[in-house]
Amino acid sequence: MQLSVSGKQIDVGDALREHVAGALQAVIEKYFGKAIEAHVVFSREAHLLRADISIHVHRDLLLQGQAAAGDAYAAFDSAAERIAKRIRRYKRRLRDHHQRPRDDAAEAILARSYVIAESGEEEADGSETGDQPVIIAEMSCEIPTLSVGEAVMRMDLADQPNFIFRNRAHGGLNVVYRRNDGHIGWVDPDRNAATAGGSKP
């Protein structure tokens, strides 16, 4: 597993790097055997230190967690425990997902992902952008074909507020998201209504 440990305006010493490497290796070996890569970034958050962990277990599975504490070790340990807790919650489903024989690449939809600047920001030359959003980053991504349960699992493991996927049951695009009340929301457009609406003169 390729591991990078870095700090934003924080010096990360060898002892902390060794602690991170040992702890992540233990989690990965216990539940997955191996992973592709992991990134850990330490930064300051007010009077606390924050640890952000991102692990690509395999091409289509991302684990993320973050936590803040009084020192870097405690912040990392807390973030790693959050990831481990989510893995334990989905342990059986992860095993079934890993063993299911199918060509994920063939079932995924290729897409573009954009990062848009906050409204009110000006372009580099100082001009206003009007109604057109300013794109500050563009990336390639894949929209996977999953069941609703698998999509919720992926969203939770990646610690994301929402997740777009192609519903394996009917092939349509769906979104799952975390509601303010803590429950999970699921958007499943009515394809029949869309087809009927599109066929009207």
Quick one: pLDDT at residue 201? Answer: 45
Question: Are 142 and 59 in a shared domain?
Answer: no
Look at 98 and 43; give whichever has higher pLDDT: 43
Which of the residue ranges 80-84, 107-111, 117-121 would you say has the lowest mean pLDDT? 117-121
Q: How confident is the model at residue 114 (pLDDT cuts 50, 70, 90)?
A: confident
Question: Are 117 and 75 in a shared domain?
Answer: no
Statement: residue 1 has pLDDT above 60: yes
> Which are the contacts of 156, defined by CB distance < 8 A and separation ≥ 6?
86, 89, 90
Look at 84 and 194; give whichever has higher pLDDT: 84
Statement: residue 197 has pLDDT above 90: no
- Comparing CA positions, the residue from 85, 74, 76 lying closest to residue 6 is 76
Quick one: pLDDT at residue 59? Answer: 80
Quick one: pLDDT at residue 39? Answer: 97
User: Does residue 20 lie in a domain region?
Assistant: yes
The stretch 133-143 carries a mean pLDDT of 88
Which CATH number does the domain housing residue 187 bear? 3.30.505.50
Q: State what percent of residues in the chain have pLDDT above 90.
A: 62
User: Six-digit token pair at 10?
Assistant: 């924080």
Domain boundary among 26, 61, 89: 89
Question: Are 77 and 121 in a shared domain?
Answer: no
Quick one: pLDDT at residue 161? Answer: 96
> What's this model's pTM, rounded to 2 decimal places?
0.78
Domain that includes residue 23, residue range? 2-89
Which CATH number does the domain housing residue 73 bear? 3.30.160.100
User: Does residue 97 lie in a domain region?
Assistant: no
Question: Are 85 and 111 in a shared domain?
Answer: no
Quick one: pLDDT at residue 48? Answer: 96
Statement: residue 119 has pLDDT above 80: no
Statement: residue 138 has pLDDT above 60: yes
Q: Which of 100-109's residues contact partners 24+ apart within 8 Å by CB, and which partners?
A: 104/59, 104/60, 104/144, 104/145, 105/142, 107/144, 107/145, 107/166, 107/168, 108/60, 108/142, 108/143, 108/144, 108/145, 108/166, 109/142, 109/143, 109/145, 109/166, 109/173
Q: Residue 8: helix, strand or coil by DSSP?
A: coil
Domain count, the chain: 2
Statement: residue 199 has pLDDT above 60: no
Question: Are 79 and 119 in a shared domain?
Answer: no
Question: Are 145 and 181 in a shared domain?
Answer: yes
Quick one: pLDDT at residue 123? Answer: 54
Statement: residue 98 has pLDDT above 80: no
Question: Are 11 and 85 in a shared domain?
Answer: yes
